[in-house]
Amino acid sequence: MNRRYRKTVIAGNWKMNMLPSETKDFVTRLRDETADCKWCDIVLCVPFTHIYQAVKAAKGTKIAIGAQNCHQAAKGAYTGEVSCAMLADLGVKYVIVGHSERRAYFGETDESVNQKVHAALEAGLRPIICLGESLEIRENGAELDFVRTQLKLALKGIAPQSLKKIIIAYEPIWAIGTGKIATPRQAGEVGSAIRETLRSLYGARAARGVSVLYGGSLNKDNAEAMLAMPDVDGGLIGGASLDAASLNSIIKAADQ
Ligand code: PGA
């Protein structure tokens, strides 16, 4: 973390878990437990069906609500899809874009990720752009090039003044939901490569203001060591975000 230049962000990603009826209690509990949180931006990315309840329960608290996906078009004949304007109208502030599960199971490409980043910004949402290599790519030692390319493609055509709205999440696919976390050194190295790429695209000043999160089996026991890396500015948390106490422990580690 480097609080001098950028925000520490802890974002939960519920994925397709929890029920709408469980949302209010969870958010209320998290709100009470994080009331004295000073430094950390707290985001909870819930399924579309939970958004209304989540926004209502989080009103007036430090918790911002995010979505886990959006469609790139402003509106139209896209049955079953949800636009960024619809999310913004509900009070959503963040949206995860390009999660590896969406890339793997739902045909998300670097091009659609880029379109979604544009759409999110246009609607006033803050995109959390997910990047990360497979195990095969890491074993071939090609992870830095892979992540740099994903980043450049995701940011294609994004104006410098929009950069401050963007959050990057480095999530190595081999560490997601596997319990096999990257070492702080590995995460820090990719985090630095991400910042270096941002610097080459937008200049040092803009690049140093971007929060770069780590995601993949982050939990209360490993969060502190991970967040000690200068280019790890927070976490995107799946499994450990489903329990308010465990998410709160990570927030506490980030808020020190
Ligand atoms: P995990 O998921 O914390 O369960 O590994 C992280 C993510 O996919 O965002």
Tell me the pLDDT of the chain averaged across its residues: 96
CA of 181 to the centre of ligand 1 (A): 10
d(CA 161, CA 206) in angstroms, rounded, equals 8
Q: H/E element holding 231?
A: none
Q: Is residue 237 part of a domain?
A: yes
Residue 1 has pLDDT above 90, yes or no: no
Mutate to test the pocket of ligand 1, among 9, 10, 13 (most ligand atoms within 8 A of CB): 13
Tell me the CA–centroid distance for residue 124 and ligand 1, in Å. 25
Note whether 128 and 94 are within 8 A (CB).
yes
* Percent of residues, the chain, with pLDDT higher than 90: 95
The pLDDT, as a whole number, for residue 96 is 98
Residue 3 lies in a domain: no
The answer to the question of residue 129 being in a domain is: yes
> Residue 74 is part of which domain span?
8-254
Residue 49 lies in a domain: yes
Encode pLDDT of 163-216 as tens digits.
Answer: 999 999 999 999 998 888 899 999 999 999 999 999 999 999 999 999 999 999
| Number of domains, the chain | 1
Element (H, E) at 85: helix 84-90
| pLDDT tens, residue by residue, 143-155 | 999 999 999 999 9
- How far is residue 133's CA from residue 138's CA, in Å, rounded to a whole number? 7
CATH number of the domain at 38, please: 3.20.20.70
Burial class (CB in 10 A: 0-12, 13-18, 19+), 141: exposed
Domain contains 42: yes
1 located within any domain: no
Is residue 99 annotated as a catalytic residue, yes or no?
yes
What pLDDT was estimated at residue 177?
85
Q: What is the pTM of this model?
A: 0.97
Q: And the tokens for 160? A: 């410098």
Cα-flanking dihedrals φ and ψ of residue 205, to 5°? -65, -45
Closest of 225, 182, 240, 193 to residue 1, by C-alpha:
225
Contact 117, 154 (CB under 8 A): yes
- Residue 115 forms part of a structural domain: yes
- Percentage of the chain modeled with pLDDT above 70: 100
In a domain, 185, yes or no: yes
Distance 218 CA to ligand 1 centre (A): 7
